[in-house]
Amino acid sequence: MERSFYEKWGSKMKFAYAALILLICLASELRIPSASVVPREAAGSEFSAERAYDHLKVFAVQPRVPGTANHNEAANYIAETIRRMGIPVSFETSTVDFRVRKLPIRNIVAELPGTQPGKPILMTAHYDSVEEGPGANDDAASVAVLLETLRVLKQEAPLRNTVVVLLTDGEESGLFGAKAYMNRHAADDIGFVLNLEARGSSGPMLLFQTSGENGQAIRLLRENADHPYAFSFFQDVFKILPNDTDFTVFKNAGVPGLNFAYAEGAGVYHTANDDLGHVSLPTVQHSGETALAMAKTLGNVDLSSLNGQGNDAFFNLFGNALVTYPAAWNPVLTAISLGLFAWAVYLGWKRRELRPRNGVKWALFTIVVILLLAVFGTFWSIGYSLLEFQGFTWPFFVYVGIVAILSGLIVWGLRKIKAVSWLNMLLNGMRIEDAAVGAMLLMALLALLTTFGMPGSHYLTAIPLSLSAVSLGGSVRLRRSPRAITFLQMVTVIPLILVLYPFFRLMAIGVGIAGIHYLLILLLLFVPLAMPLARKR
């Protein structure tokens, strides 16, 4: 019966399985948060991306490097715009040493008084840009968002908490504006900070970093923002990257807060193409609606209640459904996933359906390939960056020559130790089930490492491991019922892809072509977990 089922339906079921995965990916892509653009003629109580864009047309046409005429004109326009709203605004000036010259720093500070005494909410963005382009997205769009947010808040009843809008200067040169502000103001005098950034030209406004105990703040975001978009794994990734934003200054000072940015269309980042023509109005609308919702929410809560709530892990599921849970649950999730893995392997070994030794071989094979991808991928990444920024110049050709020599030496060394033969030996007699066991073994190790070391990323290991273990163990138990096996694997692959697709999508956006080897490494780790295990025996 089993053989006839696979002979008759095997190829069709594989096609259906692949189609299901593609359908889930497509559905997730179509449900990524966005916002309908509100026109400038809309009611004054609404945030309008078109009204925000009108500001950009005035001050975000030319580069705004501190100390230049364009920069000063932009600063004066922004301050005058706030002043016309009837909101007190001032400049906080300082001078810093930058390279071989003195750099004037002019922070713009506006304040909407609250109805009760207490620490204020600080909303920040930087209005300077790099020399290469006008920075219409980075970070003029966020400045325009805060101007429109201020306009809406001014028209409504005062909030409980004071709202301070800080438009920093000199961020691109070294976070100088944020540092200058913290030199003048004590961290204990700031209740909460919301920072808006951009590393691209489109896409939803993404929460990618938090400071302090974030649990209650994340839950407020989930409950009050119309289309929240947030992933805690970015916190762990951001720790190992050389990138900083103004938020880093506040985080290091111990100020609790949330850091938002949009990052799609990263090709314009820090280039002359970061201009008005590459500003996405839906992105501006989504940014503004998120900022306004959080300003109103945090403006009317006791900010001291945000403390003592612990940290949450969080991620979007199926587009705009924000899932949160206490990171303190990580050890429990690890125990559950490891238990399911052990059960599946033991059951398969006992019934002679699985060969754990082959799973270990696949894990070793994966580790070796990952190391090779890391080495040659680094060669590729550096070369691609040289080509992108310098073109076909002599440094690029010198680098290609060096890489060719190093690659030749590596290949010679691998042949010398008969690495290819050793890898072939590892793969000899390997089945899909063996690859799945090996991938789960590596995932189990990663689950242990991320439980405490990378708590925001832990869900990316524990959840896939649990689902794959259920699929594998269930397939062993149901080996006499291929229809049930197929159904089980389709049921478990749905949540698996729902969790992993946004991760792969955002990583692809983040690393780009230069970091394609990182995506290959991730595919090598995760794809075996989603492979259909039912087979003709």
pLDDT in tens, 451-465: 999 999 999 999 999
Over residues 267-276, the mean pLDDT reads: 94
- Check residues 6 and 187 and name the one with the higher pLDDT: 187
Query: Is residue 536 pLDDT above 50, yes or no?
Result: no
Over residues 258-274, the mean pLDDT reads: 94
**pLDDT band at 482, cuts 50/70/90?**
confident
Q: Is the dihedral of CA 41, 43, 44, 46 positive or negative?
A: negative
Over residues 483-505, the mean pLDDT reads: 92
Q: What is the pLDDT of residue 432?
A: 87
Q: What is the pLDDT of residue 6?
A: 52
- Check residues 204 and 8 and name the one with the higher pLDDT: 204
The pTM assigned to this predicted structure is: 0.91
| 166 and 92 Cβ atoms separated by less than 8 Å | no
Question: Percent of the chain having pLDDT more than 70?
Answer: 97
Per the structure block, which two tokens stand in for 196?
A: 């808006």
Q: What is the pLDDT of residue 483?
A: 81
> What is the residue-wise DSSP string for 231-248?
-THHHHHHHTSS---HHH
Half-sphere exposure in the Cβ direction for 424 (13 Å, CA): 5
Query: Is residue 2 pLDDT above 80, yes or no?
Result: no
Over residues 147-153, the mean pLDDT reads: 97
Q: Is the dihedral of CA 81, 87, 88, 90 positive or negative?
A: negative
Q: What is the pLDDT of residue 219?
A: 95
Mean pLDDT of the chain: 92
Q: Rounded distance, CA 130 to CA 66, Å?
A: 9
Instruction: Give alpha helix (H) positions in 31-102.
Output: 49-59, 69-84
pLDDT in tens, 273-289: 999 999 999 999 999 99
**pLDDT band at 9, cuts 50/70/90?**
low
Q: Rounded distance, CA 441 to CA 439, Å?
A: 5
Omega before residue 139 within 30° of 0, cis: yes
Per the structure block, which two tokens stand in for 448?
A: 């242990």
Q: Rounded distance, CA 72 to CA 252, Å?
A: 29
Q: Rounded distance, CA 506 to CA 494, Å?
A: 19
Query: Is residue 357 pLDDT above 50, yes or no?
Result: yes
Q: Rounded distance, CA 56 to CA 136, Å?
A: 7
- Spatial neighbors of 162 by CB under 8 A, at least 6 apart, are 111, 112, 113, 114, 118, 120, 121
Per the structure block, which two tokens stand in for 531?
A: 């492979």
Q: 49-306 is classed in which CATH architecture?
A: 3-Layer(aba) Sandwich (3.40)
Question: Percent of the chain having pLDDT more than 90?
Answer: 74
Query: Is residue 509 pLDDT above 60, yes or no?
Result: yes
**Helical (H) or strand (E) element with 112:** strand 101-112
Query: Is residue 166 pLDDT above 80, yes or no?
Result: yes
Give me the residue label for tokens 């961290």.
Answer: 187
- Of 312, 243, 316, which is closest to residue 498 (Cα–Cα)? 316
Long-range CB pairs of 85-91, under 8 A, 24+ apart, other chains included: 85/150, 85/151, 85/154, 86/154, 87/111, 87/112, 87/150, 87/154
For residue 207, with 0-12 CB atoms within 10 Å meaning exposed, 13-18 middle and 19 or more buried, which class applies?
buried
Query: Is residue 249 pLDDT above 70, yes or no?
Result: yes
**Which has the minimum average pLDDT: 42-56, 186-200, 400-414?**
400-414
- Check residues 534 and 518 and name the one with the higher pLDDT: 518
Q: Rounded distance, CA 401 to CA 499, Å?
A: 42
Query: Is residue 4 pLDDT above 70, yes or no?
Result: no
Stretch(es) of the chain classified as CATH 3.40.630.10: 49-306
pLDDT in tens, 374-419: 999 999 898 888 887 778 888 888 888 988 998 888 888 888 887 7
Q: What is the pLDDT of residue 347?
A: 94
Query: Is residue 488 pLDDT above 50, yes or no?
Result: yes
Q: What is the pLDDT of residue 10?
A: 60
Q: What is the pLDDT of residue 331?
A: 97
Q: Is 257 helix (H, G, I), strand (E, B) or coil?
A: strand
- Of 34, 28, 32, 29, which is closest to residue 498 (Cα–Cα)? 28
Over residues 100-109, the mean pLDDT reads: 92
- Of 290, 116, 130, 281, which is closest to residue 196 (Cα–Cα)? 290
Q: What is the pLDDT of residue 1?
A: 44
